[in-house]
Amino acid sequence: MDSAQFLTAPRVTIVAGKGGVGKTTAAITLAVAASRVGLRTLLVEVEGKSTTSALFGVGTVGYDEVELIAPGRGEGGLVARTLTPDDALIEFLQDHGLKRISNRLVSSGALDMVVTATPGIKDVLILGKIKQLERARVADVIIIDAPAAGHAISFLRSAQGLLDAVKVGLIETQAREVRDLLADPTRSQVILVTLPEETPVNELTETAYSLEDQVGVALGPVVVNGLYPPLPGLEVDPEVAAAELGAMLQAGEADSLRLAAGFRRERIGLQSVQLERLNRELPLPQFRLPFLFTSRITRDDIDHLATVMIEGIEAL
């Protein structure tokens, strides 16, 4: 499949997953991949993490756009911004001719009280801004780094929850338009991220079916992160391998190598079991990203993962 066609099939892609599975890394990787295939890309953060700014060496990513990758030389360009309920509410009021009210809320310190007064309003304000950006076609593709899986369901269900409580007015209109965005597979999709481990796979499967049942949002391919690549020769005893190569092992090295090989074989076996179970329980296409043997992901690592992601898209 053509990468640009896949990434723009719905303009909005929401990346979600259990905390610790690499959700933010997957969202950034997808955004870099989109820019690399020539798409103007917007990366939206909703939790105010510092991962993006650290990776790209830019200042704090706030409500206004920050350029991460300049367009040109095959790049479509990548910008990022963080959406907060407070800023979204102020802009929402100003857009609807209520600038005086927004100024008074800020000056009186009552803004937080208003935002938290109605359950779900924070999430609808953020999603409403995303809906506005999608309608305005500010980018070819919008990648959302959504909240972790537990909050992701309530985040995406917030519009319907408000519609059940509010029947008229600006908030009802905003919630209805957000619901329409999420329910339209030509406009939005959710990509879930997991690790090839039992608990993350369990939670991903539960989240996927909850999103389909409670939100009605389309599910894109699953990103399986942190896969150990196979290594040839793990079954060969270290002393035999050393003898064949004419190498000498120091005392204790053979035992250490046996332990390392055993761990790697066990890890690959466990991830194979989980991949098979994921295929069986959630029949969606998969993008598989390799485990990175590093304590801190760098921009070069993201570029490598983006290459793997593009290859995965083209293999669909």
* pTM score: 0.88
Rounded to whole angstroms, what are the CA distances from 48 to 21, 25, 51, 63?
18, 14, 9, 10
Residues 94-105 have a mean pLDDT of 59
Is the pLDDT confidence value at 79 over 90?
A: yes
- Model confidence at 250: pLDDT above 80: yes
Stretch 9-25: mean pLDDT, rounded? 93
Q: Is the pLDDT of residue 113 over 60?
A: no
Q: Estimate to the nearest angstrom the gap between the alpha carbon of 76 and the chain centroid.
A: 20
Return the bridge partners of 19, or none: none
CA distance 259 to 255: 6
Cβ–Cβ under 8 Å, residues 134 and 93: no
Pick the more confident residue, 118 or 189.
189
- Give the torsion sign (CA, 225, 158, 177, 137): negative
Q: Which of 30-34, 87-91, 122-126, 264-268 has the lowest mean pLDDT?
A: 87-91
Which residues is 41 bridged to in the sheet?
78, 141
**Pairing outcome for strands 141-148 and 286-290:** unpaired
CA proximity to 271, closest of 203, 204, 195:
195
pLDDT score at 100: 65
- Predicted local distance difference test score (pLDDT) of residue 19: 86
Q: Decide if pLDDT at 58 tops 60.
A: yes
Averaged over 191-209, what is the pLDDT? 94
Residue 125 one-letter amino acid:
L
Across the strands, what pairs with 66? 80
Side chain identity, residue 287: F
The separation between CA 72 and the C-alpha centre of its own chain, rounded to angstroms, equals 25
Mean pLDDT comparison of 19-23, 36-40, 87-91, 243-247, highest-scoring range = 36-40
Which ranges of 111-169 would DSSP assign to H, the alpha helix? 111-115, 121-136, 149-165
- Can you list the domains of the chain with their CATH numbers? 3-229+283-314 (3.40.50.300)
Residues facing 286 on adjacent strands: 222
HEC per residue, 182-208: HHCCCCEEEEEEECCCHHHHHHHHHHH
What is the pLDDT at residue 92? 65
Q: Which region among 45-49, 74-78, 100-104, 172-176 has the lowest average model confidence (pLDDT)?
A: 100-104
- The pLDDT of residue 111 is above 50: no
Burial of 107 (0-12, 13-18, 19+ CB in 10 A): exposed
